[in-house]
Amino acid sequence: MPLDRKLAIVDLTTGEIEKKTIPLELRKKFLGGRGLAAYLLLNHTPKDVDPYGPDNVVIISGGILCGTLASGTGRCDVMTKSTLTNLLASGNFGGFFAPELAHAGFHHIMVKGKADHPVYIFCHNGEVEIRDAGDIWGLPVSDTQWAIREDLGDEEVKSAVIGPAGENLVAYANVMTGIKNAAGRCGAGAVMGSKNLKAVAARGTMDIKIAHPDEALEFNKRFIDQITSAKVNQTMGTLGTPFIWGATNSWGGIRTRNFQYNQTEYADDIEPEHLDEIAEETCGEYHMTACYGCQVHCRAQYRIPEGPYKGVYDEGPEYTSQGAFCGETDTPRATTLLVCNHLADKYGVDNLEIGSIISWAMELNEMGILPADKLDGVDLRFGNDDAVIEMIDRICFRQGWLGDTLAKGGIQASDIIGKNSFDYMIQVKGMNNLHSDERATPALALNCALASRGSDHLRSRPAIDLYHLPEPVLRKIYSSPIPYDGPLSSEHTEYIGKPYQVFWHENCYMAVDCLGICKYHTTFLGATLPNFEDWSKVLYYNTGLDMTPEEIWDVARRSNMVERMYQLREGLTRDDLRKGDMLNHRYFDEPTRRGAPDVVGRVIDKKKFVKMIDEFYEHKGLDKEGNIKPETLKELDLENEPSHLL
């Protein structure tokens, strides 16, 4: 049964390995994935722990549906204390690792301590062992995985690994699996690196018994029909996420030259259709590839068409790479995009963070804030493709003063660079924002400020707010599973009703992260995709766990609240620009300069924005300061946390 999948606690200092069954009570409270990971993080780390120290833990946590029969359920969360933000770190990857881990008998691996030499962990049919990684240390992301297969003599092994960026403790290094699947953003890769942990590998042939196989099979068919009939997924299955670039850049939603503009000009070369042509020319007509059990197949294959990296195979690029490597730095060239995307995959570094930090440094250079004698000979100008490519190398290998400084993460780098460098950084909680520009979209701006792990689009972004859906449609979406009769607005420039949308999406995305379902299978980019009602069924047919849509909503609320408890414990305060729920001043002070008529000339109205935060806190059950109300803790059965049940 999926519910039998265990937690393995591995202490790399002592070599001890403990295998634990997840109590049913905890399953019902957190399901798995991100929710259970948040519970483990809160319970197993002391306050103020050094993210790079042995007392930090890294938790690899598959969703409860990983390994079962439900479309798009290969998702796995990686949680730890962040090297980038000094707060909660969470990243989520798809691919094939979590299902393999489930077949090996585990859903969750928690690693403590620090090994005295490079090691990797191998999970196999109920067993866990720590193995030497001396020969593997130093290898890039893909080669690490092939080397582990060779070491174990099994081509079916799947691994979650770090690349050179993680080994070199780059504050935003990823944990990765496959060619490009990444648990990114917060530096979980650096935490693995600090533990001398190169990889967690899995191979399993254990049955995962489906509670109601016939129903699960038939429901999955319906589930798939719903997912593949959505236009947004059909487009994504043809062009990949780059299709979002085309739409967003045309109306003016892409931050360019760090934050100076909100639209990248002369960007035809990186339009999705052109990238698709390159994919077709280099990898053939059928060049889309998928994660485990998924019909969206949103990932393109490509080979770099020209230059020193000509012929190198990689996958993607995603929308995020377009923005980070071409929009923010104003280098909209396909080859630059494909090379940068490849380097990020190869070294195991977060594309958003590294692109953002390079563009931030470019703006500092332009403003004369970076000391000219510390650029190590790099011509750090916007529009200089070579500088972007060169800086990726320098950061990942910490070469020179600038490479080493930027590798520490934005806030740490701004402390070293000094002057008013911090004011130019588009970040929340120490994490740089996605490359999108939210000055014309208050709902999206609110999501950036409030996302639990830092400025981010995958924790609560109401992306469908951009579709101008009629109010009755919005009402239908946001009134399930809990009735909502407050205001809603179809207008993306409005402020009313948006806090509830952000609150609803925060719970929706947490629910999929606990279940292990991909966000492209829910109300993220498409308004017709499955959510709570469907999950109640898919969970029951696959695992036998009988939970109502409302109960799943409560799991999500509870899990989000545990993340909040952790953040508050680690020093989050509402208006703190470095550790709080507040945007950079540029959102309020610098009007947008490009874009559609209802986009150009806009700023976020700070007064209205602060009121939106108040309203969001109210929905979530927080007081005016952003602290958790005692009655909320009681309602969510969190009064006794940390409860150390696991």
Q: Would you tell me which residues interact with other proteins (CB under 8 A)?
A: 67-69, 71, 96, 103, 142, 146, 178-179, 205-210, 213, 216-217, 220-221, 224, 228, 283-295, 297, 301, 313, 315
Which residue number, 196 or 542, has a Cβ lying nearer to other proteins? 542
Min dist CB 352 to other proteins, Å, is: 24
Give kind and range of the element (H or E) at residue 131. Answer: strand 127-132
* Distance in Å, CB of 216 to other proteins, minimum: 7
Question: Taking the complex as a whole, how short is the minimal distance between the CB of residue 14 and other proteins, in angstroms?
Answer: 34
Query: In the structure encoding, which two tokens stand for residue 329, read together?
Result: 């730095």
Taking alpha carbons only, the member of 174, 215, 205, 498 closest to residue 347 is 174
Closer residue to other proteins, CB minimum distance, 174 or 220: 220
Task: Identify which of residues 207 and 485 has a Cβ nearer to other proteins in the complex.
Answer: 207
Output the smallest distance, CB 644 to other proteins, in A. Answer: 32
Coil, strand or helix at 154: coil
**Least distance (Å) from other proteins to the CB of residue 208?**
4
Q: Which is nearer to other proteins, 1 or 369 (CB)?
A: 1
Instruction: Write out the two tokens for 489.
Output: 């607005």
Q: Considering beta carbons, is residue 79 or 161 the nearer one to other proteins? A: 161
Q: Quick one: 202 or 208, whose CB is closer to other proteins?
A: 208
Rounded to the nearest whole angstrom, what is the least distance from the CB of residue 178 to other proteins in the complex? 7
Distance in angstroms (rounded) separating the CA atoms of residues 154 and 188:
27
Q: What do you get for the CA distance between the two ends of the chain, in Å?
A: 20
Minimum distance from CB of 246 to other proteins (Å)?
A: 23
Nearer to other proteins, 241 or 559 (CB): 241
In sequence order, what are the beta bridge partners of 159? Answer: 201
Residue at token pair 């004698």: 373
Q: Give whichever of 342 and 453 is closer to other proteins, judged by the CB atom.
A: 342
Q: How far is the CB of 290 from other proteins (least distance, A)?
A: 4
Structure tokens at 448: 């950036």
The Cα 268–Cα 261 span in angstroms is: 17
99: preceding bond cis by omega (within 30 degrees)? no
**CA distances in angstroms from 143 to 166, 177, 263, 348, 389, listed in the order given:** 15, 11, 37, 12, 21
Nearer to other proteins, 95 or 462 (CB): 95
Q: Cα–chain-centroid distance for residue 513? A: 10
Distance, CA of 375 to CA of 537 (rounded, Å): 57
Nearer to other proteins, 292 or 587 (CB): 292
- Give 508's contacts (C-beta < 8 A, 6+ positions apart): 522, 523, 524, 531, 532, 556
The sheet that has 6-11: what strands, in order across it?
Answer: 17-20, 6-11, 106-112, 58-62, 76-81, 88-93
The angle that helices 385-396 and 351-366 make with each other, rounded to 10 degrees, is 120
Least separation, in Å, of the C-beta of 321 and other proteins? 17
Q: How far is the CB of 205 from other proteins (least distance, A)?
A: 4
Tokens at 354, concatenated: 């590294």
Closest CA to 34 of 2, 78, 96: 78
Q: Are 301 and 238 in contact (CB under 8 A)?
A: no
| Residue number, 289 or 399, with CB nearest to other proteins | 289
Residue 202 CB, nearest distance to other proteins (Å)?
13
| Token digits of residue 327 | 């929009």
Are residues 61 and 107 in contact, defined by beta-carbon separation less than 8 angstroms?
Answer: yes
Closest CB 582 distance from other proteins, rounded Å: 41
DSSP lists the bridge partners of residue 80 as 58, 89
Helix (H/G/I), strand (E/B), else coil: 646: coil
Please state the closest distance from residue 71 (CB atom) to other proteins, in A: 7
Minimum distance of other proteins from residue 465's CB (angstroms): 29
SS3 category, 59: strand
Task: State the nearest-atom distance from the C-beta of 348 to other proteins, in Å.
Answer: 16
Residue 444 backbone class (left: φ over 0; alpha: ψ -120 to 50; beta: rest): alpha
- Amino acid identity, position 138: G
User: Which residue lies nearer to other proteins by CB, 96 or 120?
Assistant: 96
Least Å distance, CB 241 to other proteins, is 15
CB nearer other proteins, residue 71 or residue 168:
71
CB closer to other proteins, 166 vs 178: 178
Q: Which structure tokens are listed for 451?
A: 């996302």
Full strand arrangement of the beta sheet holding 299-303:
288-289, 299-303, 313-315
Amino acid at 283: C
Q: Which helix (H) or strand (E) holds 17?
A: strand 17-20
Can you spell out the DSSP letters for 564-584?
HHHHHHTT--TT-TTTSS---
Cα separation, 582 vs 578, whole angstroms:
9
Nearer to other proteins, 185 or 299 (CB): 299
Is residue 246 within 8 Å of residue 253, measured between CB atoms? Answer: no
Nearer residue to other proteins within complex by CB, 12 or 208: 208
Helix (H) or strand (E) holding 334: helix 334-347
